[in-house]
Copies of this chain bind each other. A is one copy, B any other.
Amino acid sequence: MAELLNGQQRTDMCGNLTAESTGKEVTIMGWVHRRRDLGGLIFLQLRDRSGIAQVVFDTDFCDRQLLEKASQIKLEYVVSVSGFVRRRTGNNVNPNMKTGEIEVVATQLKILSEAETTPFSIGDESANELLRLKYRYLDLRRESLQKNLIVRSKLYSIVRNYLSEQGFLEVETPFLGKSTPEGARDYLVPSRVHPGEFYALPQSPQLYKQLLMIGGLDRYFQIVKCFRDEDLRANRQPEFTQIDIEMSFVDREEQLMVIMEGLIAKIFKEIKGIDVKLPLRRLPYSEAMDRFGSDKPDLRFGMEITDITSTVKDSGFALFDNCINNGGTVRCIVAKGLCDSLSRKEIDKLVEFVKTYRAKGLAWYGLGKEGVKSSFAKNLSAEKLAEIEKTAGMEQGDILFAVADKYETTVTALGGLRCHLAKKFNLIQPDKYEMLWVVDFPLFEYSEEEKRFVAMHHPFTSPKNEDLPYLLTDPARCRAKAYDIVINGDEMGGGSMRIYNRDVQRQMFEALGFTDEQIAERFGFFVDAFKYGTPPHGGLAFGLDRLVMTLTGTENIKEVIAFPKIQNASDLMTEAPSKVEDSQLEELCIRCVEEEKTNA
């Protein structure tokens, strides 16, 4: 029954027809989204990427044969309809539909492709997600998903045009690279030509982009897939997309941040119509931790952390006193007006919640309608309590949550609780965007495991100039020329200025306790490359998937990727990964040992 298109041209996209099109002869093509058969009158909703238009087969304008043909159409048939645009009147106007003021009166119809009943209703987001992933090509017909992919496409374009204007060259770096023992787990690719040897898919083009700077390319960018073979958490994909950037002849963070926040402003202007005020706030890492207990603070709401260590010092309450005497800290957040909204049971859940941050406990003190409710008030004097209320800025109706622990545990637990409460009580205004740079990260962190300082980012991250004298004498105080850009509590990207000076690099390696042999073994040709004239340079990478999620307001990464994988890294549509022919493995000189394992 299906017919050939035979070169027929579409004149309009369905979603673009408006009252202004009235009277126009049109040919539209798309999928049948809805149908209503009233006997002598058949209504179709025809859908394409742009939207939906109503088509009417009316015997005033079409013969019985056409009506008969139209009556055979089922949902998701692909058809071409020619006719004219007519203005709808009275009750027929549909104000909820972009094209609701008009309809296309059909005079011609071609059924281009028939459709069997789809395994789920097109556009139904409540249909089982696994089923929708198996038939991803059908779920891709969903308007919300198409809109996200359109935003994603627009984003590529904005990023590329902006960076090109700023003199950045787009350069492709290899996918078949070398496996390095550092970092996350590599995806490996066996080499057939070199049996027993493997390529690795890139976790990021970090080395290549720095080599491009050493090679004099000056400014580089690339929108590129990266790979990490990790056990996937929610919203992670084994392959993800990065906007990767590096530039030469800069050594101050500001020089790069100014260009990058310009990009962010442009993205939000063009995609969301939002004017971002520049420069963005710069928040030192230490302040972010102190105030928000996070290096990616969500600034859309308050509830900042207050240090009450000196207030509760020597209060006689063992929990606080022991903590402080052991070098710990006591800090709190205040949930404004929420005291009476939290039952004892709910508070107990919050106590459990902070334990996921390794906090030993959560103290609480609320000023409710029916008086004070607290886990510790009975242990403190009224004066102390009043002092705490004052320091923490408490008022009637508020409830305070305090953690007494090591600094990092304390602030991260309170930071986590802060976000948890904001979500639970809807304290976050929708469509609000709070963007900032977190800067002045520590250069090193102490590894309890290895009993030495390790690089917080990587050993090529430049220290702050003013901290250079302390590289070997006081590593803990050294800060890095590193920066993260944070929007609404999510890290959108980060980077650093790199070391380009060989003396600094030597000291850095010494501070990390590397021997010359270890340097050669771990960093090989990359360290060699620095010998031949390295420009000052620095860069950054944005997480593109995350950025699209923020721009489209989705919390499910699968909603911004055309063909995503599920948590066990498999693709339900293609059924990848899969078994392969024995001959393929033989050519690669590898053998699967799974069976042997199972039998053992």
Q: Is the beta-carbon distance between A29 and B172 smaller than 8 angstroms?
A: no
Q: Is the beta-carbon distance between B214 and A137 smaller than 8 angstroms?
A: yes
| Chain B hits for A531, CB < 8 A | 115-116
Task: From A37-45, A387-395, A582-590, give the one contacting chain B.
Answer: A582-590
| Chain B hits for A47, CB < 8 A | 216
Shortest beta-carbon distance, A500 to chain B, in Å?
Answer: 6
Instruction: Write the chain B residue with the least CB distance to A587.
Output: B185
Shortest beta-carbon distance, A568 to chain B, in Å?
Answer: 5
| Chain B hits for A199, CB < 8 A | 576-577
The answer, yes or no, to whether A383 is at the interface (CB within 8 Å) is: no
Q: Is the beta-carbon distance between B157 and A170 smaller than 8 angstroms?
A: yes
A294-340 interface with B by 8 A CB criterion = none
Q: Is the beta-carbon distance between B178 and A576 smaller than 8 angstroms?
A: yes
Q: Is the beta-carbon distance between A194 and B140 smaller than 8 angstroms?
A: no
Question: CA A289 – CA B503 in complex, angstroms?
Answer: 65
Q: Is the beta-carbon distance between A172 and B225 smaller than 8 angstroms?
A: yes
Instruction: Write the chain B residue with the least CB distance to A134.
Output: B525
Question: CA A212 – CA B580 in complex, angstroms?
Answer: 26
The answer, yes or no, to whether A371 is at the interface (CB within 8 Å) is: no
Q: Is the beta-carbon distance between B172 and A562 smaller than 8 angstroms?
A: yes
A127-177 interface with B by 8 A CB criterion = 135-141, 146, 149-150, 152-153, 156-157, 160-161, 164, 169-177
Q: A4-B501, A251-B6, A535-B29 are in contact. Are A577 and B198 (CB under 8 A)?
A: yes
Determine which of B190, B229, B532 lies in contact with A76 in the assembled complex, contact meaning CB atoms within 8 Å: B532
Determine which of B115, B201, B592 lies in contact with A195 in the assembled complex, contact meaning CB atoms within 8 Å: B592
Copies in the complex: 2
Instruction: Write the chain B residue with the least CB distance to A561.
Output: B172
Shortest beta-carbon distance, A164 to chain B, in Å?
Answer: 5
Q: Is the beta-carbon distance between A146 and B503 smaller than 8 angstroms?
A: no
Shortest beta-carbon distance, A480 to chain B, in Å?
Answer: 15
The answer, yes or no, to whether A473 is at the interface (CB within 8 Å) is: no
Q: Is the beta-carbon distance between B194 and A562 smaller than 8 angstroms?
A: no
| Chain B hits for A156, CB < 8 A | 160, 170
Determine which of B2, B150, B212, B255 lies in contact with A169 in the assembled complex, contact meaning CB atoms within 8 Å: B150
Determine which of B175, B563, B570 lies in contact with A239 in the assembled complex, contact meaning CB atoms within 8 Å: B175
The answer, yes or no, to whether A573 is at the interface (CB within 8 Å) is: yes
The answer, yes or no, to whether A597 is at the interface (CB within 8 Å) is: yes
The answer, yes or no, to whether A77 is at the interface (CB within 8 Å) is: yes
The answer, yes or no, to whether A215 is at the interface (CB within 8 Å) is: yes
Determine which of B208, B577, B584 lies in contact with A197 in the assembled complex, contact meaning CB atoms within 8 Å: B577
| Chain B hits for A532, CB < 8 A | 76, 115-116, 118, 135, 137-138
Question: CA A229 – CA B453 in complex, angstroms?
Answer: 43
| Chain B hits for A200, CB < 8 A | 576, 580
The answer, yes or no, to whether A249 is at the interface (CB within 8 Å) is: yes
Question: CA A529 – CA B563 in complex, angstroms?
Answer: 14
Question: CA A580 – CA B177 in complex, angstroms?
Answer: 12
A541-600 interface with B by 8 A CB criterion = 561-563, 565, 568-571, 573-581, 584, 587-595, 597
13 new A-B pairs (CB below 8 Å) besides A2-B503, A185-B584? A6-B252, A139-B215, A146-B216, A156-B170, A161-B161, A171-B562, A174-B239, A175-B175, A176-B571, A193-B231, A193-B570, A194-B577, A197-B578
- Could you tell me which A residues sit within 8 Å of B by CB distance? 2, 4-7, 9-10, 29-32, 47-49, 76-78, 80, 112-116, 118, 135-141, 146, 149-150, 152-153, 156-157, 160-161, 164, 169-179, 181, 185-201, 207-208, 211-212, 214-218, 225, 227, 229, 231, 238-239, 241, 249-252, 254-255, 465, 500-503, 524-525, 529, 531-536, 561-563, 565, 568-571, 573-581, 584, 587-595, 597
A-B contact pairs, 27 of them (CB 8 A): A2-B503, A7-B255, A48-B218, A76-B532, A76-B533, A112-B536, A113-B500, A113-B535, A137-B529, A137-B532, A149-B169, A156-B170, A157-B164, A176-B238, A176-B239, A176-B565, A181-B581, A189-B201, A191-B577, A193-B569, A195-B592, A198-B584, A199-B576, A199-B577, A208-B562, A589-B594, A591-B591
